[in-house]
Amino acid sequence: MDLTKLHNLLDSLTLQEKIGQLVQLSGEFFDATDISLGPQRQLGITQETVDLAGSVLNVAGARDVRRLQAAHLKKGRHPIPLLFMADVIYGYKTVYPIPLGIGATWNPDLVEQAYVNAADEARAAGLHVSFAPMVDLVRDPRWGRVLESTGEDPYLNSRFAAAMVRGLQKNLAAGDGVISCVKHIAAYGAAEAGREYNPADVSTPSLFQDYLPAYKAAVDAGVKMAMTSLTTLNGVPATADKWLLQNILRDRWGFTGLAISDYASIYELIQHGFAQDPTDAASKAIDAGVDIDMKSPCYATGLQPLVTSSRLSEEKINTAAWRVLKLKNELGLFEDPYGGTTEEKEHTRLLTPEKRSLARDLSRQALVLLKNDADILPLDSSANQRIALIGPYADEQKMLGLWAVHGDPQDTVTIKAGFADYLAPQQLQTAKGTDVIRDRLMFTGMGLAEEQINQTISPAADEQKNRSEALETAKNADVIVFAAGEHTLQSGEAGSRTRLRLPDNQRQLLAELRKLNKPIVLIVISGRPLVLTDVQDQADAILQAWFPGTEGGHAIADVIFGRYNPTGRLTMTFPYDEGQLPLYYNHLNTGRPADKNHPTRFVSRYIDAPNKPLYPFGYGLSYGSVQYGELKLDSDTLAAAGRDELTAAISVTNTGTVPREETVQFYIHDQVASIVQPVKRLIGFQKVPVQPGETKTAALTITPDMLSFANRDGEFITEPGMFDLFAGPNSQDVHQTSFSLTE
């Protein structure tokens, strides 16, 4: 529809009809199943509100979308199509590794293609908007939603944010893309103590230097929607923070899209103690710039009285309603309200071999080899070795993670199935050994029904039998592969934990397997960095597999049996102990760093644990060996003025016998600045494939803007002075040089 006609449509709507466009309800209001995750409340929503609603939350599938759309178009004076929005965070039907694994690929180009495919599936299934990417920077693995983030570094998160936005929206014009909705504005990942929905208090320099860059990268990549955070930022609920949503998001960054609240977060302004009642909440949210109210009664019941009593200008409603109509128009919904979805198209686009193949590649690249003593890996499938694949994840399809709401575990390739592709039947014995978790209290605390819990926790007799079988199986094997980890429900939203070890039952079985004195490979399935300190010595090799997605079993087998040389590198620190948290690589030095130059007591340290993590940011092993050369600069000075640039280069030699790909990482440290700077900050990386015996050079061009930092006003400035430059395979084992930035 041309914009003049669209404006005429807006002008022809009543106030109530315009307000309706600002209301989003979930499936059950439209006679569809409600698969959204969140507190269910009686919202006092009338049938008239439903008939005038502008969008639907978490209903997907060509059949349901067409049915709901057709019914909706018969309501109201004007046939204004519904927008269908859902969480497609890491794949729709073909589910990828969780974003913490996707980040470990350090491969934004591949991720962009993966999100093109995710959008293709989602659009074919009738969706118009995906509430992705989630780009909250995370530093505390106690928080369950680290699952959805690409990690602790603002530069890397920004690269992935832009890639995901581009991927999701790339084929919009062709009717095969979806609107991307970046979330959660802002700094939700700074929830205090990693406890879900807790307040975030962040200094201005850190807010602008660490937490905001990835949201801005999404805006710069053309994201068309943004979602507010459920939390408060420095005392103000993000959902009603005009400084954040207007001054920063729109005025400073130039965002022209649509802002949506998170699930019921407008209504929750009352709980926060920021609004008196639903009408007050509606007033504060619309004034802050929130266009759509997701699953709360506030806009539906509060906006009209505010306007009719002149407490709110109708212009605010018009602006928000215009953004909604414009989005519908960009999607072509006024010409085809079904957005092209049909059951036939859906069938041809979902879970295709091509999409599975890309998911397998992404899943492989997400795997991080944390330990490989005596090069026990890769296993040689032709060596006639007997492999005992033991553990709760040995033959488990539930490896998708909490937010794969549209994925079907039935489509998942298990680790056992992946191994079976490489081994003759007589080579592979599998035994569950123990449940994923046996903590009944945890499940009842989540409100799970008894029969659900009984499906997950075996009776004591079965548990004992499983354990005996596993030990017997292991005794007859040459190598033990123990597939362990956390339960899906232990991570993701509202999955905060204080103890991050493997469940006791798993650790006990692993300890018994260890007594058999056979090589053990530990595969860790998790939605977060776990504390692996106490199992590190129980295994000769450790592969961090995250929730690896639909193709997880294939990907894990490809690495274990050497078809793929693991390239994954951590984007979030693995702590030595929960007591260190939050723990991240780009920390400040303090005035008394616990290094060799200071006396041992009065320095920044714990007396009962090291400062160092178990595995640092950027860490990961590959098969074979590699040698880094000297870090060189083409000049030791860089002028801040003009278009000066500096090139850093470091050679990488494959000293092993197998091809491998190195992710060479470049970090800087600003030695002296008016706002103290982190000991290291990632400013670039280069993936370098090297054949055995081959030497290649990784290079990075450094410009003054890459050295800028945020001051107390949130402005990025550069200051002349000395800079350390580091380069290497991770944030800890680095080669170092320095240069000066001059006026």
On the question of a cis peptide bond just before residue 184, with omega within 30 degrees of 0, the verdict is yes
Contact 583, 163 (CB under 8 A): no
Does residue number 263 form part of the binding site for ligand GLC (CB under 6 A)?
yes
Query: Considering only CA atoms, which of 504, 706, 495, 529 is closest in space to residue 614?
Result: 529
217, HSE (Cβ side, Cα atoms, 13 Å)? 25
Restricting to residues 38-97, which ones interact with ligand GLC according to CB under 6 A?
A: 38, 58, 87
Q: What's the closest the beta carbon of residue 148 comes to ligand GLC, in angstroms?
A: 8
Nearer to ligand GLC, 38 or 620 (CB): 38
Cis peptide before 582 (omega within 30 of 0): yes
106 vs 403 by CB, closer to ligand GLC: 403
Q: Which is nearer to ligand GLC, 245 or 317 (CB)?
A: 245
Q: Is 495 in the site for ligand GLC (CB under 6 A)?
A: no
Nearer to ligand GLC, 226 or 387 (CB): 226
State the nearest-atom distance from the C-beta of 337 to ligand GLC, in Å. 23
| Distant-in-sequence, close-in-space partners of 530: CB < 8 Å, separation ≥ 6 | 141, 485, 486, 500, 501, 502, 524, 574
Span interacting with ligand GLC, options 36-44, 92-100, 160-168, 527-535, rule CB under 6 A: 36-44
CB of 309 to ligand GLC, least distance (A): 32
For the CB of residue 405, give the shortest distance to ligand GLC in the complex, in Å: 8
**Considering the complex, what minimum distance in angstroms separates the CB of residue 132 from ligand GLC?**
8
Alpha carbons 133 and 215: distance in angstroms, whole number: 9
Q: Positive or negative, the Cα torsion across 581, 585, 588, 590?
A: positive
Site for ligand GLC (CB under 6 A): which residue of 36, 130, 261, 473? Answer: 36
Cβ-based nearer residue to ligand GLC, 132 or 690? 132
Instruction: Determine the Cα–Cα distance for residues 402 and 412; give it in Å rounded to an integer.
Output: 14
* CA–CA dist 570, 618 (Å, integer): 5
Nearer to ligand GLC, 38 or 729 (CB): 38
> Binding segment for ligand GLC among 17-25, 35-43, 68-76, 499-507 (CB under 6 A)?
35-43
Instruction: Quote the CA–CA distance of 56 and 505 in Å, as a whole number.
Output: 42
Other residues' Cβ atoms within 10 Å of the Cβ of residue 394: 24
**Dihedrals phi, psi of 564, to nearest 5 degrees:** -130, 125
Take residue 571 and report the two structure tokens written for it.
């984007």
Query: Which one, 86 or 559, has the nearer CB to ligand GLC?
Result: 86
Q: Which residues, numbered 596-655, are part of the site for ligand GLC (CB under 6 A)?
A: none
242-268 residues labelled b (16+ CB within 10 A) or e (exposed) = eebbbebbbeebebebbbbbbbbbbbb
Binding mask 223-242 for ligand GLC (x = CB under 6 A): -------x------------
- d(CA 724, CA 741) in angstroms, rounded, equals 11
Closer CB to ligand GLC, 36 or 296, in the complex: 36
Give the nearer residue to ligand GLC in terms of CB position, either 37 or 639: 37
Does residue 183 belong to the site contacting ligand GLC (CB under 6 A)?
yes
Positions in 124-143 near ligand GLC (CB under 6 A): 131
Q: At 210, is the secondary structure helix, strand, or coil?
A: helix
- How would you write 242-265 as a 3-class SS string? HHHHHHHHHHHCCCCCEEECCCCC
Segment contacting ligand GLC (CB under 6 A): 30-38, 348-356, 564-572, 727-735?
30-38
Nearer to ligand GLC (CB atom), residue 263 or residue 723: 263
Binding mask 565-604 for ligand GLC (x = CB under 6 A): ----------------------------------------
Cross-strand bridge partners of residue 710: 716
Q: Does 267 bind ligand GLC (CB under 6 A)?
A: no
By CB under 6 A, residue 407 contacts ligand GLC: no
3-state secondary structure 398-418: CCCCCCCCCCCHHHCCCHHHH
Under DSSP, is residue 202 helix (H, G, I), strand (E, B) or coil? Answer: coil
Residue 261 beta carbon to ligand GLC: minimum distance, rounded to whole angstroms? 9
Which DSSP string corresponds to 523-586?
EEE-SS----TTTGGG-SEEEE--S--TTHHHHHHHHHTTSS------SS-B-S-GGG-S--SS
Q: Decide if 439 is catalytic.
A: no
Q: Could you tell me the smallest distance in angstroms from the CB atom of residue 188 to ligand GLC?
A: 8
Please name every residue paired with 372 in a beta bridge, in sequence order, or none if there are none: 541
Minimum separation from the CB atom of position 569 to ligand GLC (A): 26
To ligand GLC, the closest distance from the beta carbon of 422 in angstroms equals 38
Using the minimum distance from each CB to ligand GLC, give the nearer residue, 87 or 540. Answer: 87
Kindly tell me which of 288 and 484 has the beta carbon lying closer to ligand GLC.
288
Please report which helix (H) or strand (E) contains residue 728, including its range.
Answer: strand 721-728
User: Tokens 């706002």, residue?
Assistant: 675
Stretch that binds ligand GLC, among 32-40, 95-103, 318-326, 385-393 (CB under 6 A): 32-40
Q: 547: number of CA atoms within 13 Å, CB side? A: 33
Nearest-approach distance from CB 493 to ligand GLC, in angstroms: 6
> What number of chain residues touch ligand GLC (CB under 6 A)?
11
Q: Which of 140, 176, 210, 262 is catalytic?
A: 262
* CA–CA distance, 355 with 353 (Å, rounded to integer): 5
Question: Do the beta carbons of residue 132 and residue 111 sit within 8 Å?
Answer: no
Question: How would you label 624-655 residue by residue, b for 16+ Cβ within 10 Å and e otherwise?
Answer: bebebeebebeeeebbbeeeeebebbbbbbbe
Tokens 């994925």 correspond to what residue? 407
Position 680 contacts ligand GLC (CB under 6 A): no
Please tell me whether residue 262 binds ligand GLC under the rule CB under 6 A.
yes
Q: How far is the CB of 657 from ligand GLC (least distance, A)?
A: 46
Q: Provide the mask over 187-226, with x wherever binding to ligand GLC is found by CB under 6 A and - wherever it is not.
A: ----------------------------------------
CA angle 35, 36, 39 (to 5 degrees): 125
Return d(Cα 6, Cα 325) in angstroms, integer: 7
**Shortest distance (Å) from residue 131 CB to ligand GLC:** 4
Residues lying near ligand GLC in the complex (CB under 6 A)? 36-38, 58, 87, 131, 183, 230, 262-263, 493
What is the set of active-site residues?
Answer: 262
